[in-house]
Structure 1
Amino acid sequence: MVGTGRSEFRGGRMHEEKYRCYWDLLSRIPSLENPDVNVTEETFEFNQRFVSHAQARLLKGGRKMDVASYGVGLKDQALMLELLFLPEPALGRKRIEDWFTQDFFDTIFWYIFTTMFAFQKWSSLAEMRRYMKRFMHLVPGLNHLGGVMRTKYNQYDSVVRPIVRWLSERGVKVALDTRVTDIDFNLAADRKTASLIRIEREGQEDEIVLGKDDYVFVTNGSITESTDNGAWDRAPRLLGEDQAGAWQLWKRIAKKDPAFGNPGVFCDDIELQKWYSFTATLHDSTFHDYMEDFSGNVDGTGGLVTLTDSNWLMSIVIARQPHFPDQPKDVKVFWGYGLYVDRIGNHVKKKMSECSGQEILEELWYHLKLQELMRPVVEAGKVNCIPTAMPYIDSLFMPREPGDRPEVIPEDATNFAFLGQFAEVPDDCVFTVEYSVRCAQVAVYGHFDCGKKPLPVYVGAHNPKALIEATRAISK
């Protein structure tokens, strides 16, 4: 978003207090607005002022649902406990729907869980197990998003820009319009060494020969690869693997050694991995004023609002305004997404994947009973909505087994590492910024004599008090 009030952003990540590696990193990065305060301090101070406590987490028929009870039956409660104590390798590539009863997917708990984390019924049971163990301490408050933290502004301005500035001040070079197409390796029985990086720079092929003191850290795979934006009057395109450079790179690398993972497990079924988001920009406060009055939450304290009777299973988030440092005072923004994008809408008789920004908002107004209220605002041209197609957004949740994700530092690797959501880090959860930072720390501390180790993963299920309180909450 720029100062004129035009916006295009794909969404943000929720944070929580136990992201040990993430907050450790950001404690070294000065805030853009106040260099005497680091990003960790800025974020914690912001969340002390705007505490997450959703009062309209789930809606049905335009009305708030009672979420005091999670509604999980005794059989599924027992299956939850059993899942926690099974070793992860025993689960293989099982899906969530392979484990729980069908009734589980109609519970308040599932509606909250699936929309908060973007799991689907066919997602990895092993990853759900990690989430349940890792975030056990948050389970009693999931129904009101208790413990969820946000940055002061969107994460590009609050996190990415401060890090980029910090790196630039230390001489780090960022090469734009440059794409890595392959990496060559010298592979011996007891030694694996990256020797050359093949790139395309400004449309021209080139090579970077690696010296004896060079290291290569590779982000294998990407959940935002091939993202496409639509417009107010146009649906986004669903782009395929032929335009997915990050996945093509990993597939080329993976052919060279079994230790480099199995990318096809994650990227070969777009229909199970895609969902669509949308960003609305309003030169008017009518919608935000209504939602504040209806929900009881001032902006920035309510978080996710899910429409459980939406065929698209649509959710929206109203962040604290302004969401951008240069956002004009008369501009409001919000973000939303749908999980079931190939279903016909309840009001707009089209698939969400076929809808323009205008049509998506028409469906939203219908569910919130706001059609008459918002009609003059829309007709006055004070609303814009940009839909976004993300074909690989749920690829990290695809069912997997040991070996499908490479180790951060594969055995016998001398000068390279894998980073991001598709490298293996025991116990931690993908689709979190914590996972990405932890990968980087494992790579750096493993290859260089820093005298450091990543801080241990916080696993809520290892805290007896958290386990007891979560069990009580689930059994209500």
Structure 2
Amino acid sequence: MATNMKRNIDVQNSDQLPERSLTAEVDRNHAEDAKFYLVGGGIASLAAAAFLIRDGHVRGCDITILEALDKPGGSLDGSGSAESGYVVRGGRMLESKYLCTYDLFSSIPALNGSKSVTQEIFDWNETIRTSSRSRLLRNGKREDSPAYGLDEHHLLTLGRLSIEPEIMLGNSRISDHFDSSFFETNFWLMWCTTFAFQPWHSVVEFRRYLLRFAHMSSGFNQLHGIMRTVYNQYDSMVRPLRRWLDDHGVAFQPNTRITDLLVDETGVENRVRGIVCETARRRLEIPVGAADKVIVTLGSMTASSSLGGMDHPAPLNTVDSTGAWHLWKTIAAGRPEFGHPSVFADHIDESKWLSFTVTLRDPTLFRLIRDMTGNTPGEGGLITFAESSWLASIVVPHQPHFIGQPADVQVLWGYGLRVDQPGDFVGKPMSACTGREILTEILGHLRIDAEASRILEHANCIPCMMPFITSQFLRRSKGDRPHVVPDGWQNLAFTGQFCELPNDVVFTVEYSVRSAQNAVYALLGLDLAAPDVYKGQHDPRIVYKAFSTFGDR
């Protein structure tokens, strides 16, 4: 295993790292040592690079990460400043059974160098455990441990789904299995806002979530077991991982859009022989040698994201400047083993929603939320406004939420699932609202009136429209998501949210990391395996507790 290398660097400037010229890659003579090209700079590619080094003993200088954006991290992002306003498009939920994620980050030192990222996360969550006293708010009043409201028919359907094979469920919707009363229960209200499900999403994905998180059901209405990072996930996870990769010599090539793969399909096994790239200056082809490997992150749930401002809404942008969806469609044409990207990419009305990040220079809102909910920042987790036409929720994280965030600045995050519905206080669809109007709507649900003008005066609310954010939940059939290593290919693997990993659940960091671990071990032919997915549903005690909990009306 590679030795963790540590050095003292200014974490505020850790994104300013050296780049290696692509021209040198194109002109090189193939050496005996294999080269590894990782398409996409999200957590899946970063994890793959780390596993190549740690478990495959690959030299970092033989790994190149190609990314269309100007920095790594993909959907695990965090940006902005106290002056311009902070932005977090969204944060992925963590919990203790993310075995691949914690395996990876046990080898990555935290930014302060005192412990691993994994140990930092576990220590932090011993200090601040999520325990919501206000999972739902109705009429400005909190509901502590809200009852689930499931009747016998709902419970029987949940039980049936938990044992029915996926092949029997096909590409049906959640709403194909429940009547309308199910979608009015507190269970659905908490479930859909915790995980961002819609009634028209895949019942197969819904089933996988039921099984994957069965061990967390007993405290679900108070968000027990949900874990957080010290800062936003970009600062707490991506930055330390990126620094470790840089210390090991991995080349990160930003502002490089991959448009196609050149392939040789004349042999017994197919192989990638070249990568077609576009930069701001030129189009070029990277030759892929006989021993080289290519790992591609398919699709992007945050592609085409657009930002608004305090006085202008976030536009709906359907043009993907990163090229992630275009690349998948291009290479999948005529190759069914590469999956069917249109199933996920061509239904924006079913996959979009809007988030918002609020930067505050006045403590009034945080004080009022603390008094109303009974939770200090970082302790309560998601707060959903049960009566919201937007189905809006907010999270009040521990402060500071960003490294370098001033002590007199607070940051909160929120999102809405029904972005085309008129608001209850502003009377406009969330998708058409400015940051000021979104924050006004939230203050209305919090029943904050007298202090509203003061809060708005010192706030900067930045909306973010994400057209593909739940595309991985869309209805699918077998084969729509390709295997990590597609059948018949010798030097190509896929990672990310749109490849197929039996039993595990998409829309998680764990899924991306697990796909990367599987890809690396398979391509290198290592006698290693990723940790098995935790299957609490096979423990009768967990099953009994789950159904006893959900049966509490």
TM-score category, normalised to shorter length: over 0.9
Partner of 1:135: 213
Q: Structure 2 matches for 1:308-457, cutoff 5 A?
A: 308-379=386-457, 382-457=458-533
Counterpart position of 1:7: 86
Matched, 1:26 2:105: yes
Q: CA deviation at 1:3?
A: 5.5
- Distance across 2 between alignment mates of 1:242 and 1:438: 26
1:69 to partner: Cα distance: 2.1
Aligned counterpart in structure 2 of residue 208 of structure 1, from 262, 278, 286:
286
What is aligned with 1:156? 234
Over the aligned positions, Cα root-mean-square deviation in angstroms equals 1.2
Matching of residues 16-415 of structure 1 within 5 Å? 16-33=95-112, 35-65=113-143, 67-188=145-266, 190-241=268-319, 243=321, 245-379=323-457, 382-415=458-491
SS in 2 for 1:334: strand
Offset at residue 122 of structure 1 (A): 0.3
Shift of 1:5: 6.7
Distance 1:383 1:3 in 2: 10
Measured after TM superposition, the shift of residue 212 of structure 1 is: 1.2
How far off is 1:396 after superposition? 0.4
Q: CA deviation at 1:90?
A: 1.3
Give 1:55's aligned amino acid. Answer: R
- Judge conservation of contact 1:225–1:392 (CA < 8 Å) in 2: yes
Which consecutive residues of structure 2, in runs of 5 or more, have no partner in the other structure? 1-79
SS across alignment from 1:372: coil
Residue 464 of structure 1, CA deviation: 1.4
Note closer, same or farther for the CA distance 1:342–1:3 as it changes in structure 2 (3 Å cut): closer
Q: CA deviation at 1:244?
A: 5.8
Cα offset for 1:377?
A: 3.1
Displacement of 1:187 in angstroms is 2.3
Deviations 1:95-120 (A, max 9, x none): 00001121110111000000000000
> Partner letter of residue 473 of structure 1?
T
User: For the residues of structure 1 that align with 2:177 and 2:353, how far apart are their CA atoms?
Assistant: 24
| Equivalent residues of 2:356, 2:462 under 8 A apart | yes
CA distance in 2, matches of 1:128, 1:202: 42
| Partner SS state of residue 281, structure 1 | strand
CA offset at residue 188 of structure 1? 4.6
Letter in 2 for 1:161: R
What is the letter of the counterpart of residue 143 of structure 1?
N
- Distance between the aligned counterparts of 2:204 and 2:322, measured in 1? 26
When the two structures are superposed, what TM-score results if normalisation uses the length of structure 2?
0.84
2: CA distance, partners of 1:254 / 1:371: 54
| Structure 2 equivalent of residue 470 of structure 1 | 546
Does the aligned pair in 1 maintain the 2:495–2:516 contact within 8 Å? Answer: yes
Distance 1:271 1:427 in 2: 27
Residues 407-455 of structure 1 deviation map (CA, whole Å, 9 limit, x = unaligned): 0001222001010000000000000000000000000011113331000
Q: Deviations over 1:349-378 (max 9, x none)?
A: 111000000000011111111122121232
Secondary structure, in 3 states, of the residue corresponding to 2:87? coil
Deviation at 1:189, TM superposition (A): 7.4
1:287 offset after TM fit, Å? 0.7
Matches of 1:243 and 1:21, distance apart in 2: 31
Deviates most, 370-379 or 126-135: 370-379
Asked whether the 8 Å contact 2:132–2:379 carries over to 1, the reply is: yes
**Residue 460 of structure 1: how far off its partner (Å):** 1.9
CA distance in 1, matches of 2:185, 2:536: 23
Query: Mean alpha-carbon deviation: is it higher for 199-208 or for 70-79?
Result: 199-208
Offset of 1:4 from its aligned partner? 4.2
- The one-letter code sitting in structure 2 at the alignment partner of 1:316 is I
Residue 190 of structure 1: CA displacement? 4.2
CA distance in 2, matches of 1:4, 1:360: 20
Code of the aligned partner of 1:138: M
CA distance in structure 2 between the aligned counterparts of 1:86 and 1:244, rounded to whole angstroms: 38
User: In terms of mean alpha carbon deviation, does 177-186 or 119-128 score higher?
Assistant: 177-186
| Alignment-derived partner of residue 18 in structure 2 | none
Task: Name structure 1 gaps, 5 residues minimum.
Answer: none
TM-score by length of 1: 0.97
Residues 365 and 455, structure 2, Cα contact 8 Å, conserved in 1: no
- In structure 2, distance between residues paired with 1:244 and 1:111: 34
Distance 1:357 1:206 in 2: 41
SS at match of 1:262: coil
Give the secondary-structure state (helix, strand or coil) at the position aligned to 2:86.
coil
In structure 1, C-alpha distance between the alignment counterparts of 2:185 and 2:258, rounded to whole Å: 45
Secondary structure (helix, strand or coil) at the match of 1:328 reads: coil
Deviations 1:268-310 (A, max 9, x none): 0101100000000000111111111111111101010000111
The residue identity in structure 1 corresponding to 2:416 is G
- Residue 420 of structure 2 aligns to a residue whose secondary structure is coil
Contact 1:180 1:249 in 2 (8 A): yes
The one-letter code sitting in structure 2 at the alignment partner of 1:151 is: T
- Equivalent position amino acid for 1:434 in 2: E
Q: Matches of 1:55 and 1:74 in 2, distance apart?
A: 27
| Deviation, structure 1 residue 186 | 1.8
Cα distance in structure 2, aligned partners of 1:465 and 1:242 = 46
